[in-house]
Amino acid sequence: MRAPWNAMRDATRRMRRARPHPHRTAREWPLRAVPEQTRRTLAAQPAVTALLIALTALTAGSLALADAAMRQDAIDQQTRLETAGRYVMRAQARTERGEGLIPAAVCHGLNLADGVRAAAGFVDGERGNVPVTLPKAPGEQLSMRTAVGDVAGMLDPSGPPRFDEGFYIDRTLAADLGIGDGMRVELVTDASRGTSDGEGERTVATAHVLDLSARGFDQSRSIIAIGPPTGTVGECLVEMEPGAWGTDDATDAGSETARNFVASALDDGRTITSVTPFLDAATLDATPLERLRTRISRHFWLVSGLACAGLTLAPMLFRRHEFALYRSVGAGANPVALIHAAVCAIMLCAGHLSGWLWAELAFRWMRHAPPAEPWTTPAAAGASLLLASALVTAACALLARGDMAAYIQRRL
């Protein structure tokens, strides 16, 4: 009794399978037709393709260049501040007569402490500033200061640390006196400090020419002699490694940590040592690294991705009939979405690559040097490309679905 019902059910199923889908024809496009159709789509609109690539390159390249320039400005300012003494602490302790109270050996030993880049002490009192003359340059009056520790690393941070014997002299002053680096120079001290015959003491020392202008040691016509770490010094300069002892902290707590470290290292239980930053407080208010972390250009990759996606999708909204035509000739929703997504991805890749190369060339032309962090520009362009490609692919998937047949009927 149930056989006729089964036969009717089977016939109904066969009729449903034989009924054509309203969005399909007898032959549906396979996915392997996507590359060929992508090529045809690009070839059919060369002007629009070139215009979109140019606009994408201009947008992505301009924003990447702006971010690289702001980043480079902060890095350059940080380098200048570091050279000028951003991480240097000045410790001072003197008697009423100007004699130093800081043990020279302790100041010299700070060069071996963790987190210390260089430490140098300067002798005060009678040995602090000794008038000298040079027979090589008659009539020139100089003063000689004695220093201990890593004197070269403190005077010229761009040079390697040296503990040589001799004396250091500024490059400009050495050129005026005709002194070259490594030259043996005869020095004559003041006659009042000299021998019993009334003539000054004569010594021959090796000259080491440095650039003393970075930290202001070139303000006076003086040379700095290297002395043994004995006795006491009135001033001890300690340069920290970047980030050590809170030196990169923009708050007062970070600076206080560095001051406490230097004060405790030089404390002998008898002397009150004053520790202050080498640079004034106004210079240290806003650190370049803090401005680098909070700069507005760090979001430019997001703006670039959204702008490039909008530029690519804007013409597509006026060509929605292409989606309907593809579907009407047998293309499924996935192939249609892949075709348009591939077309947009090719234009976005070409635009971002051109924008990155343009930004690199423009940066080198304006700064006469490559970026300090060469990966920043391609990273910004790559992040913008990934964001724009993801947005465009999602938009193509949405546009490729829907009742395309009804859309064609309304348009016709």
pLDDT, tens digit, 9 for 90 and up, residues 58-105: 999 999 988 888 888 888 887 888 877 788 888 888 877 777 788 888
Per-residue pLDDT, 245: 63
Residue 159 in this model has a pLDDT that exceeds 80: no
**Distances in whole angstroms, Cα of residue 381 to Cα of each of 15, 309, 346, 412:** 55, 13, 15, 43
Q: What string of DSSP letters covers 138-199?
A: EEEEEEEEEEEESHHHHH-TTSPP---SSEEEEHHHHHHHT--TT-EEEEEE-GGGS-TTSP
Residue 206 in this model has a pLDDT that exceeds 80: yes
β-strand partners of 223: 144
Per-residue pLDDT, 251: 47
Distance CA(80)–CA(159), nearest Å, equals 15
Distance CA(351)–CA(210), nearest Å, equals 49
Residue 19 in this model has a pLDDT that exceeds 50: no
pLDDT band at residue 26 using 50, 70 and 90 as cut-offs? very low
Per-residue pLDDT, 252: 46
* Contacts for 391-395: CB closer than 8 Å, 24+ residues apart: 391/305, 391/306, 391/309, 391/313, 392/309, 392/312, 392/313, 392/341, 392/344, 392/345, 392/348, 393/337, 393/341, 393/344, 393/345, 395/309, 395/313, 395/316
Per-residue pLDDT, 137: 80
- Tell me which of 45 and 304 has the higher pLDDT: 304
pLDDT band at residue 351 using 50, 70 and 90 as cut-offs? very high
Per-residue pLDDT, 57: 92
The mean pLDDT of the chain is 78
Residue 54 in this model has a pLDDT that exceeds 50: yes
Per-residue pLDDT, 370: 85
Residues 6+ apart with CB under 8 A from 301: 63, 64, 67, 379, 380, 383, 384, 387
pLDDT band at residue 227 using 50, 70 and 90 as cut-offs? confident
Residue 407 in this model has a pLDDT that exceeds 80: no
pLDDT, tens digit, 9 for 90 and up, residues 365-402: 988 888 878 888 888 889 999 999 999 988 888 777 65
**Distances in whole angstroms, Cα of residue 283 to Cα of each of 257, 279, 286:** 19, 7, 7
Mean pLDDT along residues 337-342: 80
β-strand partners of 185: 205
Phi, psi of 232 (to 5 degrees): -130, 160
Cα radius of gyration (the chain): 38
pLDDT, tens digit, 9 for 90 and up, residues 252-280: 445 678 888 888 888 776 777 788 888 77
Taking residue 141's Cβ as centre, other Cβ atoms within 10 Å add up to 11
Residues 6+ apart with CB under 8 A from 123: 100, 104, 145, 146, 147, 148, 227, 231, 232, 233, 234
Distance CA(165)–CA(392), nearest Å, equals 69
Distance CA(34)–CA(11), nearest Å, equals 37
For 233, counting Cβ atoms within 10 Å of its Cβ (0-12 exposed, 13-18 middle, 19+ buried), the class is: buried
pLDDT, tens digit, 9 for 90 and up, residues 292-329: 777 777 888 899 999 999 998 888 776 666 666 665 55
Q: What's the half-sphere exposure (Cβ side, CA atoms, 13 Å) at 161?
A: 13
Report percent pLDDT > 70 for the chain.
75
CA angle 271, 276, 280 (to 5 degrees): 155
Paired sense of beta strands 116-122 and 167-170, if any: unpaired
pLDDT band at residue 357 using 50, 70 and 90 as cut-offs? very high
Report percent pLDDT > 90 for the chain.
11
Per-residue pLDDT, 274: 84
Residue 164 in this model has a pLDDT that exceeds 80: no
DSSP state of 366: H
**Distances in whole angstroms, Cα of residue 67 to Cα of each of 4, 292, 300, 384:** 77, 10, 7, 13
DSSP state of 220: S
